[in-house]
Amino acid sequence: MYSDKVLQDIAAIATDYRLKVASTVGKILALAEAYRSLGKQFTFEADADLDAETNRILMALSDEILADAEVRMRRAIEEANDEEDADEIVAFVLFDITAQNTLDKYASHLKFILEGWATIGFANGLSKGSIATNLLVFLANPYISPLWKKAFEDGRSYASKIIREGGYYWDKGTPISPLRGFVLTSSDMVNRAYNRGVVYGYRRAGAIGYRVLRGSDYDCPSCDDVVAGSPYPIDDVVLPVHPNCVCYAVPVFEKDIT
């Protein structure tokens, strides 16, 4: 079966990152507060120091998440009983999903949202705490934020610009919040590291291949296809099939097929 311990570790990522993002948002809004008088004209670029410090805080968040994902990957590889391959696996996963770039992209996206909320908040006379709360609710679900939606519907150029540049559209597309992006990216890294650890561990134990079995029974044709394609050669890691996939591998030894 897929390791319960790894699943629990992945499940904890959402809560941990919500706190990390909330702390980052608090720090940046505290800095932006000094520029409240700009109202709807507010932008981080209004002051070069503010902009640089905001970027620094956001990149620190991105680095912190990357470091956290690496700790969790190593824990998952240990759970797969394959510590010997940990360095190789971690390096592979970081490279394979261009983790640093992906996390930096979400951090930049968070900056757009921060700028948008500071602008809306200052224009509407919201306190810094209220701006933070609105922003965090918005990250959980962009569509339920009445203030943001109203600013957009009123055609207020300051908000619509940020919404578009931030990647949010009311009429099409699926919005992905930076928080969700951070969580999904790390979860995927841990899942990939774990599966690679399991398969490499089987190889160390002398397996020549492995079969894939479903770890859950929700409807997923992609996973069914991968299960049906078993067995796989030991050097070909086909798991996870998709993010949050809990399909798992069982080893095949020479004696099993002769």
| Binding residues for Zn ion (CB under 5 A) | 223, 241, 245, 247
Say whether the peptide bond before residue 240 is cis (omega within 30 degrees of 0).
Answer: yes
Interatomic CA distance for residues 2 and 11, integer angstroms: 14
- Give the bridge partners for 232, in sequence order: 210
User: Residue 16 Cβ, how far from Zn ion at the closest point, in Å?
Assistant: 24
User: Residue 190 Cβ, how far from Zn ion at the closest point, in Å?
Assistant: 15
User: Residue 220 Cβ, how far from Zn ion at the closest point, in Å?
Assistant: 6
| Cβ nearer to Zn ion, comparing 90 with 247 | 247
User: Residue 141 Cβ, how far from Zn ion at the closest point, in Å?
Assistant: 27
| Cβ nearer to Zn ion, comparing 20 with 214 | 214
How would you class 186 by CB atoms within 10 Å of its CB: exposed for 0-12, middle for 13-18, buried for 19 or more?
buried
Interatomic CA distance for residues 6 and 189, integer angstroms: 12
For the sheet containing 209-213, what is the strand order?
232-233, 209-213, 248-252
| Cβ nearer to Zn ion, comparing 141 with 216 | 216
CB 187 within 8 A of CB 210: no
| Cβ nearer to Zn ion, comparing 171 with 219 | 219
